[in-house]
Amino acid sequence: MPPKKTESGAAKKSTSAGHSYQDMIKDAIINLKERNGSSRVALKKYVKANNSINATDKMFDSLFNKALKSGVEKGEFAQPKGTLSQFATIDVTPNSWPPH
Lowest-pLDDT range, 62-66, 82-86, 90-94, 96-100?
96-100
The DSSP 8-state label assigned to residue 3 in this structure reads P
Q: Is the pTM of this model over 0.85?
A: no
Lowest-pLDDT range, 4-8, 17-21, 28-32, 53-57?
4-8
Q: Percentage of the chain surpassing pLDDT 90?
A: 4
Return the higher-pLDDT residue of 59 and 37.
59
In this structure, what CATH number is given to the domain that contains residue 31?
A: 1.10.10.10
Domain assignment present for 63:
yes
pLDDT of residue 25: 86
Domain assignment present for 7:
no
Distance CA 32, CA 14 (A): 25
Domain assignment present for 100:
no
